[in-house]
Amino acid sequence: ATSVNEYFQERKRKRAPLVFEPRPIELRSDEVVDGVAGLIGNTPLVRINSLSTALGVEILGKAEFMNPGGSVKDRVALRMITDAEQHGLLHPHTGSRIFEGTVGSTGISIATIARAKGYEATIIMPDDVAEEKVKALFALGAHVERVRPASIVDKKQFVNLARERAKHFGNEEAENPAKAIPTHHGHLIPTFSSSVIVTTTADDALADGALMSPEEEREFELKPRGFFADQFENRSNYYAHLDGTGPEIWRQTSGSVDAFVSGAGTGGTIAGTGQYLKSKKEDIIVALADPEGSGLFNKVKYGVMFDRKEAEGTKRRHQVDTVVEGIGINRLTHNFELALPIVDDAFRVTDEEAVAMSRYLVHHDGLFLGSSSACNLIACIRLVKKFGWNNGERVVTILCDSGSRHYSKFWNDDYLAKANIPVDMHLVDRILAGD
Ligand code: PMP
């Protein structure tokens, strides 16, 4: 085995020439933005110089770690909360509480926006996720509950528990359902979790006394309530990317983009971004990067979630201690379902490959990234190799969060040694060489 230092020395000797001349730093925007929400999105697209040069294509990463909450999930949290406000399910400064089941990033994003908008946040997460995510949640004043990872059919699974907690918040009202608030979507029945949308007409509702008077409505608004954000099933997640990430990438590449590669947790990123890009350019390739133990690869390739034998050996979300956090799942979520018609290909990525890629990027590019970004970049190489590209084609992927969210696991060599995951400094070179 080569030590990190030996490896670095060797690479220095063979270093590729600089591609870009240094330029003065430009501001992302010269406008004053409106609070923390104004800092969300419009992230830069960064050329990954090492991989681009080695492959002869442009590998471009959407720098989502630059969002104020530190990840791509800021976009989703903002959209879920503003959509809920528009539908009358959340009212700021009324003591309302947002509940979410998350492996961390979405919780941090929700807690960030909750603070700025006058809500409380309860975040329920598995107890094996990296400790720094919990610390960030505490710093943001969120209430945190940690539970043993469990199967989705288990009541104590983190998503199910978040739904339950939201339902029972403001108990008295839950037992005594309020009347409907009229909206442009029909009538929203307040369920104290996600809304149930019914399609009776206003006249019918008024006639049977199911509609609120303006006074009743005001009183209703001012009562604290629980809102289950439900990122896995909530379509606002998909829209955040359909209206944000997708158009931004299209603009930043001036429409010159040949492939989009993304991992999936909820599926919102690949569904929304992929759908937008496909709507602009039909022959763009949308590909999934899938970590070890996830069933999504098989779903895309063969139409079935996983074969049993394979699933038994997996470590994904219903089991403990996954090294790659945030992507890979063994059930079909609504947001991933939206991606199925537009995903063309899928690539599996091992934990060892993701670890190797993250170290490679620090040493060659000074990019300190989290585990899902590293997975995405391995899949980018696989895609380029598969299609034999070497002529300046453009592949865009997502750099979901920074390495600073992963010190205690993915970026901890002791932890990796215990988990039997080697840190092989030559692995990315071998993948680049097509081994
Ligand atoms: N990377 C990280 C770090 C994440 O937290 C998530 C979301 N769980 C993803 C990637 C995947 O994004 P999506 O949920 O949109 O599929």
Ligand 1 within 6 A of CB of 105:
yes
Helices (H) and strands (E) in the chain, counts: 19, 13
Cα 416 → chain centroid: 23
Confidence of residue 13 (pLDDT cuts 50, 70, 90): low
- Residues of the chain above pLDDT 90, percent: 60
Tell me the pLDDT tens digit for each residue of 383-409.
999 999 999 999 999 999 999 989 989
CA angle 101, 106, 110 (to 5 degrees): 95
User: pLDDT value at position 89?
Assistant: 84
User: pLDDT value at position 215?
Assistant: 73
User: pLDDT value at position 9?
Assistant: 58
User: pLDDT value at position 30?
Assistant: 73
DSSP 2: -
Beta-carbon count within 10 A of 164 CB? 18
Query: Given the CA of residue 105, which atom of ligand 1 is nearest to it?
Result: 5
**Ligand 1 midpoint to CA 73 (Å):** 7
Range 109-113 average pLDDT:
97
- Residues of the chain above pLDDT 70, percent: 78
Q: Which of 62, 65, 66, 72 to mutate to test the pocket of ligand 1 (most atoms within 8 A of CB)?
A: 72
| Side-chain half-sphere CA neighbours of 243 within 13 A | 10
Least confident range of 184-198, 208-222, 419-433: 184-198
**Dist. CA 311–CA 127, nearest whole Å:** 22
Cα 186 → chain centroid: 30
Question: Measuring from atom 7 of ligand 1, which residue has the nearest CA?
Answer: 326
**Ligand 1 midpoint to CA 241 (Å):** 12
What residues does 285 pair with on adjacent strands? 259
User: pLDDT value at position 174?
Assistant: 42
Query: Given the CA of residue 267, which atom of ligand 1 is nearest to it?
Result: 16
Highest mean pLDDT among 9-13, 22-26, 48-52, 314-318: 48-52
CA angle 242, 317, 418 (to 5 degrees): 125
Q: Which of 266, 331, 358 to mutate to test the pocket of ligand 1 (most atoms within 8 A of CB)?
A: 266
Ligand 1 within 6 A of CB of 370:
yes
Residue 16 is inside which H or E element, if any? none
**Dist. CA 177–CA 112, nearest whole Å:** 30
Tell me the pLDDT tens digit for each residue of 186-208.
444 343 333 344 445 556 655 66
- 3-state secondary structure labels for all residues of 102-164: CCCHHHHHHHHHHHHHCCEEEEEEECCCCHHHHHHHHHCCCEEEEECCCCCCCCCCHHHHHHH
Confidence of residue 305 (pLDDT cuts 50, 70, 90): confident
**ipTM value greater than 0.95:** yes
Q: Which of 76, 78, 105 to mutate to test the pocket of ligand 1 (most atoms within 8 A of CB)?
A: 105
Q: Which residues of 121-139 are buried (b: 16+ CB within 10 A; e: fewer)?
A: bbbbbbebbbebbbebbee
Residue 243 has pLDDT above 80, yes or no: yes
**Ligand 1 midpoint to CA 266 (Å):** 7
**Dist. CA 14–CA 292, nearest whole Å:** 32
Query: Given the CA of residue 264, which atom of ligand 1 is nearest to it?
Result: 16
Question: Measuring from atom 5 of ligand 1, which residue has the nearest CA?
Answer: 326
* Structural tokens at position 80: 């879920």
Query: Given the CA of residue 241, which atom of ligand 1 is nearest to it?
Result: 15
Ligand 1 within 6 A of CB of 109:
no
Confidence of residue 178 (pLDDT cuts 50, 70, 90): very low
Q: Which of 43, 62, 73 to mutate to test the pocket of ligand 1 (most atoms within 8 A of CB)?
A: 73
**Ligand 1 midpoint to CA 236 (Å):** 15
**Dist. CA 99–CA 394, nearest whole Å:** 39
* DSSP track, 170-231: THHHHHSPPPBEEETTEEEEP-SSS-EEE---HHHHHHTT-BPPHHHHHHHHTS--EEE--T
Residue 353 has pLDDT above 70, yes or no: yes
Ligand 1 within 6 A of CB of 399:
no
**Are residues 65 and 44 in contact, defined by beta-carbon separation less than 8 angstroms?**
no
3-state secondary structure of 283: coil
User: pLDDT value at position 108?
Assistant: 96
**Residue 254 backbone phi and psi in degrees, to 5:** 50, 35
Output 129 or 18, whichever has higher pLDDT. 129
Ligand 1 within 6 A of CB of 372:
yes
User: pLDDT value at position 310?
Assistant: 55
Residue 431 has pLDDT above 70, yes or no: yes
**Dist. CA 105–CA 103, nearest whole Å:** 6
Tell me the pLDDT tens digit for each residue of 25-64.
555 667 888 899 999 999 999 999 999 999 999 999 999 9
User: pLDDT value at position 306?
Assistant: 63
Mean pLDDT (the chain) is: 84
User: pLDDT value at position 322?
Assistant: 77
**Dist. CA 383–CA 284, nearest whole Å:** 12
**Are residues 237 and 207 in contact, defined by beta-carbon separation less than 8 angstroms?**
no
Tell me the pLDDT tens digit for each residue of 79-96.
999 999 888 888 888 889
DSSP 327: -
**Ligand 1 midpoint to CA 56 (Å):** 28
pTM, full prediction: 0.84
